[in-house]
Structure 1
């Protein structure tokens, strides 16, 4: 069962870790390329701030973003800002996100996210936690998939395996780290494919952060996953 209180605490921890890490950068480093194609570190930080605003909108029953184009325009606008402005924006928007969470009374209600996606309000904190963890890795400043909390990594594998479950373009696939196992892809019409690796490599592949070279694949080639 989702524990939104625990997840909100995890969001706070992840936010503080990220803020502490980026405070060690300088303006030049913020303008350098991140690990996301076409994005600088400034783009990643701007996205994290605007995502906090967007999820605050969700809790306050407004559209998450005015439009996809407006979302991209806002990130591009904010990406070139100096480090101190980026830090303040990430910190201030995180505080507004937390305040909106504190004002949320009905955690069982269904909320609307981007592109018509809906979810329980209680799962929004975990979605924000994922933003903080994965984009901290994307900054390319020493925080790796292996450094993410074990609880987060396991739950993100659960989340992404469920996201691709039933997808017609993903063959029946079993994921395992040698101890735990997950299923994803379309309904099995045969033996299917088994993908084995460390939790970090599994989540990296599922989240589009690693190509899967370290994974062991049996029963066919490594599936090509749709973009998130």
Structure 2
């Protein structure tokens, strides 16, 4: 994995593991984008229907969208992540048409703006409730994890050699816990997930908490994280794991 360094000073409230993951993920994503040749921007990413340019534009837009939530927390003035789902998609399409040099610059500048916004929040502002793009109420402090998840998973989605085995182990543990909680509220199968490298064990209750008989799924921590996130990754050691619906 490439060496990752944090960006800027850190507010006392936003220090700790999650902010470190965000900083490392940002550095990894920026370095990965910098290593992509101009001609490769128009090639497919790992996400269906999106080129690498689409994905890079989305990550830049996401920094500004989360910045809207930070502004909301700082001022108390309701500021949604996106004006609408249609506007979000239009912005991604427009961004995907920008020259690679502009996209590289946008990713860096938007990440720096978000880091500065994080650093400026007060303890009271971090606790203020905002809403995600899906309308879920969360404390502003949740935006740090949302950004960590965005930059680290999408570093893999760029499909240029970064894999789940390259992501920080503590991030993967937190990611698996996050996804299992979300999947337990969904309509997917019940799962008993066991990391055979000693990382832990997790359960998905399945079908909106129905408590159906769980399927045992085993593998390394990166393999389980990739499976839960619906991404290619290291092979699981269990046979024929069930297909999973989208989780976000």
The TM-score normalised by the length of structure 2 is 0.83
What per-residue deviation string (whole Å, max 9, x for no partner) do you get for residues 35-80 of structure 1? Answer: 1111111011100000000000011111110000000000000112
Alignment CA distance shift 1:40-1:223 (3 Å): closer
What root-mean-square deviation, in Å, do the aligned CA atoms of Structure 1 and Structure 2 show?
Answer: 2.1
Q: Deviations over 1:58-115 (max 9, x none)?
A: 1111111000000000000011222211111001101111111122222222220112
Cα deviation for residue 22 of structure 1 reads 1.9
Q: Is 1:112–2:131 an aligned residue pair?
A: yes
Structure 1 residue 73 corresponds to structure 2 residue 95: no
Q: Residue 127 of structure 2: SS of its match in structure 1?
A: coil
Aligned to 2:195: 177
Indicate yes or no: 2:172 matched with 1:161. Answer: no
CA distance in 2, matches of 1:226, 1:31: 25
Aligned length: 223
Aligned to 1:11: 22
Where in structure 1 are there 5+ consecutive unaligned residues? none
Q: Which runs of 5+ in 2 are unaligned?
A: 1-12, 73-78
Q: For residues 22 and 133 of structure 1, what CA distance do their matches in structure 2 show? A: 12
- TM-score normalised to structure 1 length: 0.89
Question: 1:10 Cα shift?
Answer: 2.5
Residue of structure 1 aligned with 2:224, choices 199, 202, 223? 202
Point out 4+ residue stretches in structure 1 off by more than 4 angstroms: none
The 3 A distance-change label for structure 1 pair 217 and 22 is same
Task: Quote how far apart the aligned CAs of 1:189 are.
Answer: 3.8
Which residue matches 1:25?
Answer: 36
User: In structure 2, what is the Cα distance between the partners aligned to 1:65 and 1:18?
Assistant: 22
| SS of the residue 1:119 aligns to | strand
In the superposition, relative to structure 1, how do residues 35 and 85 fare at CA in structure 2: closer, same or farther (>3 Å)? same
Distance in 2 between residues matched to 1:184 and 1:35, nearest whole Å: 26
- 1-side partners of 2:106 and 2:201: how far apart? 39
